[in-house]
Amino acid sequence: MKFFNREKEIREILSILEFEPNFIYFIYGPINSGKTALINEVINKLDEKYVVFYFDLREIFISKYEDFIEVLFEEYEEDKNPIELVKSLVKDSSVLFGIPTPKNTLETLLSKKKPKNVFKYITNILLELRKEGKQPIIILDELQKIGDLKINGFLIYELFNYFISLTKHKHLCHVFCLSSDSLFIEKVYSEAMLNGRAKYLLVDDFDKETALRFMDFLAKNILNKKLSNKEKELIYSYVGGKPVDIIYVIQELKIKNLKEILNYLLSDAKQKLKYFLEDVKEKNETLYKEILDALKVFKDSYEVEDITINKKVRELLVKRNILFLDPIRGTLKPQSFLVWRAIKKII
């Protein structure tokens, strides 16, 4: 399906790439807001000058250092010099899903278990690409998966120091980190070592005008018909501007009626919230009452200041994907319109 909208975000990222690397960029937003789709669309628009190393951390269970290394490197049996191996692959593709590495080299990197050896190896690859007139870009999707991973301290801090070296100090490689975990972004935002060295790009759900245009776009391409204004307004009142929910509704309209689809989605959101509250009440009656009081603020408001809800309750609700925290703007809101509707129905 043709990519829809996000022109502003695409222009911003492409503009960043026109200049020398200077910051680590964190791309964040509510779950299923389209962060990965956005970055893939940007990649599709790049010319041959750029070489993208794309690491999708969601694809592998990461519990130890070796797991992380497995994501970073793509093993090759060829007995080639690592630099020559990368150069040969870059001729055929501008996107590599891992740093191409001969098997014997990878075994050596794994055996030493020292991030500095890994980072030095990657830096040499990047330097050689720059000599070839290429601009490297590193993209890590769902970076929070290594947030608690330890090796000589927390690996995430080693990684941040390395990214600072690549961007702020050497101006060698653009670095983009994607995350839908707003508690992780809050920790990153508060991290002193990143002050003046990181920027943050919000990829939010669509606003109402864009959501309605997206419905028109989907209805034409999937249903080959137009939706009435009443139908679009009804859809928006249930799912808001969440792209994945709008897509689901339009796809289901091929075989079901609209009210049936929307009632199912709302019922699903209500049940999940109900069972969460039931579990909390069973374990901690006091916390249960605090959560109910916290959620009541959303009866009349979709978005509130973050400190409206105390830290303990706020973090629990964000961790359970009931609320989305934007630490840069200092706001809290439900993860979706469906969750908001469920809160208003149950509380």
- Domain-embedded: residue 269: no
- Domain-embedded: residue 189: yes
The percent of residues above 70 in pLDDT, for the chain, comes to 95
> How far is it, in rounded angstroms, from Cα 301 to Cα 126?
48
Specify the pLDDT at position 84.
Answer: 78
> What is the CATH classification number for the domain harbouring 191?
3.40.50.300
> How far is it, in rounded angstroms, from Cα 13 to Cα 25?
9
Pair (113, 250) in one structural domain: no
- Domain-embedded: residue 219: yes
Specify the pLDDT at position 150.
Answer: 52
Q: What tens digit of pLDDT does each residue of 201-220 get?
A: 999 999 999 999 999 999 99
Q: Are 268 and 261 in contact (CB under 8 A)?
A: no
Instruction: Assess whether pLDDT exceeds 80 at residue 106.
Output: no
- Domain-embedded: residue 268: no
Per-residue pLDDT band for 107 (boundaries 50, 70, 90) equals confident
Domain count, the chain: 3
Instruction: Assess whether pLDDT exceeds 90 at residue 97.
Output: no
Q: What tens digit of pLDDT does each residue of 273-321 get?
A: 999 999 999 999 999 999 999 999 999 999 999 999 999 999 999 999 9
Burial of residue 39 (number of CB atoms within 10 Å: 0-12, 13-18, 19+): buried
Pair (110, 11) in one structural domain: yes
- Both tokens of 289, joined, read 């009452």
Q: What tens digit of pLDDT does each residue of 118-167 get?
A: 888 899 989 989 998 999 999 999 988 876 655 455 777 888 999 999 99
- Domain-embedded: residue 261: no
Backbone angles phi, psi at 319, to 5 degrees: -60, -35
Computed over every residue of the chain, the mean pLDDT equals 90
What mean pLDDT do residues 103-117 have?
73
Range with the poorest average pLDDT among 1-5, 146-150, 167-171? 146-150
Q: What tens digit of pLDDT does each residue of 17-30 get?
A: 999 999 999 999 99
What mean pLDDT do residues 184-209 have?
93
Per residue, what are the HEC states of 214-261? HHHHHHHHHHCCCCCHHHHHHHHHHHCCCHHHHHHHHHHCCCCCHHHH
pTM of the model: 0.91
Full domain range(s) for residue 193: 7-202
Specify the pLDDT at position 151.
Answer: 47
Instruction: Assess whether pLDDT exceeds 90 at residue 270.
Output: yes
Instruction: Assess whether pLDDT exceeds 70 at residue 327.
Output: yes
Pair (117, 195) in one structural domain: yes
